[in-house]
């Protein structure tokens, strides 16, 4: 009897050890997956944050993260304005490849039934399917209709607005909306529409919009921390995008700025900084700070006529010059991302999809095409992730296109139907000295590759402004033969 009891005990003990091992293993795998927090500003200038040299706008909370992480000095987005840039971030593909080269127009019949192609699986969906608790807070701009709603595209939680922008003071936008509705106006400007929570109208938002979004992000972090699985939060502030509207108490801090637009813009950025600080505090309180990869960026360059600065980069929002699409960007993750470093090599927001999916141990959809790459192995070694490879930007204008191509130290540029130019962008950040005559073969190679890339484009599914659709047809766009000709 004793022997059998002993045998049973040994068997039971070994099973329990095995289970414990299995549990430990599962726990270990889970622990390795970080929370991912993407903080995206709207139209924030390259040098409008302390970590990139702003002197007149203090951003202490953002700077703390940037300096404890790695600052990307050559971080690009895929397009120099809002909608297509965000579409690229979510799909991991250039927006031209699925017809989203233009913003979805506001309040237009053109957008009925339109949004970012449902054939494209957003990376939020990939993370959600890998078990992440996913949230989007703020600006959407990827399709206002039910089929294209954030909750349908991989976000468990959505708080914000579906259009391309929003006014900031609730007493003002709510009153304006109600008034227009009472007048029977059928189409009301997106910027005035009520905020929503998972498809339900938020009746009485009470805070200045940036604060409102920050506080929802804090709530999200608190509730996400109670869940077993990690979270993904896409915190898409609409600041400092127009309308330029700031709180009086924030404006007071910027009396020294004489230019009214710059003063208001500065106060708006300052409000974002306060919010980032609050979100970081929540992460720390909930023990999530150490295991959260924080990525900060702007969706495109700052708009020079609306108070922003991209110095020393040339031009701004909308441009194929660096100021249009090289953005303030950093990664922060204690112990995992190098602290106090800058990363000089070109990376793209197109890289986020494969990079984050890998960190999340998520499976990519079968046959998924990507224009970016998993940069983690090279980035974490401080090495160049795409030596010799190209990063493109292409913006259609009225009957022609502006194009930029980056390869290593080179930048090829075509704007305003002028001849192609070539710059050594490492030495000439402001794109001032054209070297095309000195290095014609280098230029020809880059233009050739860009033309090859343009063959992956499809016709735009919508235009913004709508009148562009007429010009598009009249001018026989996209006119790529003309675009990629070197005179």
Number of residues that bind Ca ion (CB under 5 A): 5
**Does position 464 bind Ca ion by CB under 5 A?**
no
Which region, judged by CB under 5 A, interacts with Ca ion, from 15-23, 153-161, 297-305, 329-337? 297-305
* 82: contact with Ca ion by CB under 5 A: yes
H/E stretch holding 357 reads helix 352-359
Distance, CA of 355 to CA of 245 (rounded, Å): 36
Q: Which two tokens stand for residue 474?
A: 């009249």
Nearer to Ca ion, 242 or 283 (CB): 242
Please choose, from the candidates 406, 401, 428, 237, the residue with its C-alpha nearest in 3D space to the C-alpha of residue 319.
401
CB 413 within 8 A of CB 314: no
3-state SS of 20-43 is HHHHHHHHHHHHHCCEEEEEEECC
Tell me how far CA of residue 210 lies from CA of 83, 195, 205, 359, 410, in angstroms: 20, 12, 12, 29, 38
Choosing from 41, 82, 149, 241, the catalytic residue is: 82
Q: Which is nearer to Ca ion, 88 or 412 (CB)?
A: 88
Of 245, 299, 315, 371, the residue at the interface with Ca ion (CB under 5 A) is 299
Per CB under 5 A, the segment of 70-78, 218-226, 300-308, 448-456 that binds Ca ion is: 300-308
Quick check: 70 and 331 in contact, CB under 8 A?
A: yes
In this chain, which stretch among 82-90, 109-117, 186-194, 353-361 interacts with Ca ion, using CB under 5 A? 82-90
Rounded Cα distance, 143 and 158, in Å? 14
In the complex with Ca ion, the residue whose CB is nearer, 245 or 299, is 299
Which C-beta is closer to Ca ion: that of 82 or that of 313? Answer: 82
Query: In Å, how far are 78, 150, 283 from 105, measured between CA atoms?
Result: 19, 18, 36
Q: Least Å distance between CB 311 and Ca ion? A: 19
**Could you give the CA distance from residue 470 to residue 399 in angstroms, rounded to a whole number?**
10
82: annotated active-site residue: yes
Q: Which is nearer to Ca ion, 269 or 477 (CB)?
A: 269
CB of 295 to Ca ion, least distance (A): 17
Pick the closest to residue 81 from 297, 311, 325, 315 (CA basis). Answer: 325
Coil vs helix vs strand at 469: helix
Q: CB of 139: closest distance to Ca ion in angstroms?
A: 9
Mark the segment that binds Ca ion (CB under 5 A) among 292-300, 339-347, 381-389, 438-446: 292-300
Between helix 82-91 and helix 352-359 the angle, nearest 10°, is: 40
Least separation in angstroms between CB 165 and Ca ion: 9
Among the candidate windows 38-46, 163-171, 216-224, 410-418, which touches Ca ion by CB under 5 A? 38-46
Smallest separation (angstroms) from Ca ion to the CB of 249: 26
> Looking at beta carbons only, is 82 or 246 nearer to Ca ion?
82
Measure Cα distances from 88 to 104, 257, 397, 438 in Å. 14, 35, 19, 34
Give the residue with the Cβ less far from Ca ion, 80 or 404. 80
Residue 43 interacts with Ca ion (CB under 5 A)? yes
42 contributes a contact to Ca ion by CB under 5 A: yes
Residue closest to Ca ion (Cβ): 82
User: One of 79, 96, 141, 149 is an active-site residue; which one?
Assistant: 141
Q: Which of 39, 41, 37, 38 is nearest to 238 (CA)?
A: 41
Annotated catalytic sites, by residue?
82, 141
Binding site for Ca ion (CB under 5 A): 42-43, 82, 299-300
């Amino acid at each position: 009897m004793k022997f059998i009891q002993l045998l049973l005990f040994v068997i039971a003990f070994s099973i329990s050890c095995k289970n414990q091992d299995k549990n430990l293993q599962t726990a270990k795998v889970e622990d390795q997956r970080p929370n991912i927090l993407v903080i995206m500003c709207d139209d924030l200038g390259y040098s409008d944050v302390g970590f990139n040299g702003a002197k007149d706008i203090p951003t202490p909370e953002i700077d703390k993260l940037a300096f404890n992480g790695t600052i990307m000095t050559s971080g690009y987005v895929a397009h120099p304005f809002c909608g297509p840039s965000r579409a690229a971030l979510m799909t991991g593909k250039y927006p031209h490849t699925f017809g989203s080269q233009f913003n979805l127009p506001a309040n237009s019949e053109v957008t009925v039934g339109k949004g970012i192609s449902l054939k494209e699986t957003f990376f939020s969906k990939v993370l959600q399917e890998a078990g992440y608790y996913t949230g989007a807070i703020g600006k959407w701009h990827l399709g206002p209709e039910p089929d294209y709603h954030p909750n349908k595209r991989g976000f468990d939680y959505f708080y914000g607005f579906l259009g391309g922008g929003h006014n900031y003071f609730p007493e003002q936008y709510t009153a304006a909306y109600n008034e227009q509705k009472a007048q029977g106006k059928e189409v009301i400007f997106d910027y005035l529409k009520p905020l929503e929570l998972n498809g339900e109208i938020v009746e009485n938002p009470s805070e200045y919009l940036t604060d409102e979004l920050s506080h929802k992000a804090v709530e999200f972090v608190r509730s996400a921390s109670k869940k077993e699985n990690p979270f993904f939060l896409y915190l898409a502030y609409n600041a400092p995008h127009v309308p330029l509207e700031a709180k009086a108490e924030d404006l007071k801090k910027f009396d020294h700025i004489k230019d009214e637009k710059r003063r208001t813009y500065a106060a708006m950025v300052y409000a974002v900084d306060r919010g980032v600080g609050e979100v970081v505090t929540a992460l720390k309180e909930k023990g999530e700070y150490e295991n959260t990869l924080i990525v900060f960026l702007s969706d495109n360059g700052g708009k020079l006529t609306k108070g922003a600065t991209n110095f020393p980069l040339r031009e701004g929002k909308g441009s194929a010059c660096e100021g249009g699409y090289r953005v303030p960007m950093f990664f922060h993750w204690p112990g995992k991302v190098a602290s106090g470093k800058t990363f000089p090599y070109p990376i793209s927001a197109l890289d986020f999809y494969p990079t984050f999916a890998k960190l999340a141990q998520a499976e990519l959809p079968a046959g998924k095409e990507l224009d970016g790459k998993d940069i983690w192995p090279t980035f974490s070694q401080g090495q160049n992730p795409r030596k010799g490879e190209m990063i493109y930007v292409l913006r259609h204008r009225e009957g022609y296109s502006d194009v930029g191509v980056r390869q290593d130290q080179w930048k090829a540029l075509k704007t305003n139907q002028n001849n192609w130019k070539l710059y050594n962008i490492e030495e000439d950040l402001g794109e001032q000295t054209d070297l095309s005559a000195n290095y014609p073969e280098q230029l020809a190679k880059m233009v050739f590759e860009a033309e090859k890339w343009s063959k992956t484009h499809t016709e735009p599914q919508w235009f913004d402004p709508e009148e562009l659709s007429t010009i598009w047809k009249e001018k026989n766009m996209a006119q790529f033969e003309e675009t990629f000709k070197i005179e």
